[in-house]
Structure 1
Amino acid sequence: MLFTSPDPAADPYYARILLDLQKAAYSIEARLLGDDRIPPLNDTLVDIAAWRGHWIVAWDGVQLLGAVAWDDYGDRLEIDRLMVAPPAHRRGVGSALVQRVIGASEHRPIDAATGRDNPPAIGIYEKHGFEVVDDEEVPPGIWITRLRFAG
């Protein structure tokens, strides 16, 4: 697995492939949740390019496997999105990407959130030491689980 750190604002190719990956990955989560109103499904190319956090993208040769994006707030990091291409599920891609963020954290806490009814995503986070903090309904009818890695 090869990792890169693209800037979708500087390269429209990355904005396009990341948006396509996001739509594919979050469509699966929407099915698990039974609701397609999750915010990542409404993002556009402009949204991807305008977001100013950090990206790590996983590749197998030229095949895009997944990506993680996070914000650095100084005292903590927050994973904004974790996406694995559906054909790459169950190959350790999500775990490898979470490990990259943990490595970038410099022992600071990391916050993450995923659909409450998305056991595979919750499992990836828990496998790496994240603990469930709480569940929150946002928007009405859609529940997320908030998790935290203590650092």
Structure 2
Amino acid sequence: MIKDITLGYDQQTKELYEMQKASYLIEAKLINYYEIPPLVETFEQLVKCGEKFMAYLEDEKLLGAISYTVENQELTICRMIVHPHHFRKGIAGTLLLAVEEKAISNKSIKVSTGKDNTPAKNLYIKHNFTLLQDIEVAPGLYISLFGKNLLG
């Protein structure tokens, strides 16, 4: 089940925070960069980030989440979080489809990931995102920016 959630000083947000650390540690290892913002942010910063969140729940247990912002005609996916024990079960794809429904009135979706994060890049390509460019964001660290235009 996918549902919108509001972050706060509660148990679910604490679980999300811990899951985010575990999930982004995997990406950090893939791209050999350990200063990824979601990996180094504090609990307080997460609670106050201002992003909208959707959670993937199974039997009331949090297994994944996606966050996004909307500005003008563009929805930007900020975080894709899946508990490492639940990788490769379709959770990220389900979350992508759910966020697309939120973007129907918008014209485009953007998302980025580490250039060397092949599993994430494959996920976005599978869901019809187009690689727009690779950007060097720190010396020797590149991210891949993907976009998808929606009909309507």
TM-score category by the smaller chain?
A: over 0.9
Unmatched 5+ residue regions in structure 1? none
- Tell me if the contact between 1:130 and 1:147 (Cα under 8 Å) persists in the aligned partners: yes
Aligned-partner Cα distance in 1 for 2:35–2:65: 21
Moved over 4 A (4+): none
Q: How many residues align?
A: 149
Matching of residues 27-38 of structure 1 within 5 Å: 27-38=25-36
- Alpha carbon RMSD of aligned pairs, Å? 1.2
Q: How does 1:35-50 map to 2 (within 5 A)?
A: 35-50=33-48
TM-score normalised by structure 1 residue count: 0.93
Give the TM-score taking structure 2 as reference length: 0.93
Indicate if the aligned counterparts of 2:2 and 2:98 stay in contact, CA closer than 8 A: no
Q: How big is the shift at 1:62?
A: 3.1
- 1:19-34 superposed matches below 5 A: 19-34=17-32
Instruction: Give yes or no for contact 2:57–2:64 (8 Å, CA) kept in 1.
Output: yes
Is residue 59 of structure 1 aligned with residue 38 of structure 2? no
Structure 2 CA distance, aligned partners of 1:91 and 1:54?
Answer: 23
The residue that corresponds to 1:77 in the other structure is 75
CA contact (8 A) 1:19 1:43 kept: no
Letter in structure 1 aligned against 2:148? F
Query: In structure 1, what is the equivalent of residue 126 of structure 2?
Result: 127
Give the conservation status (yes or no) of the 8 Å contact 1:6–1:14.
no
Q: In the alignment, which residue of structure 2 is the partner of 1:110?
A: 109
Q: Is the 8 A contact 1:7 1:14 kept in 2?
A: no
Aligned mates of 2:52, 2:36 — CA distance in 1:
21
| Structure-2 residue corresponding to 1:145 | 144
For 2:45, give the aligned amino acid.
Answer: D
2: CA distance, partners of 1:80 / 1:31: 19
| Structure (1 or 2) with the greater strand fraction | 2
Q: Which amino acid aligns with 2:7?
A: P
Match of 1:88 in 2: 86
Which one-letter code corresponds to 1:112 in the other structure?
V
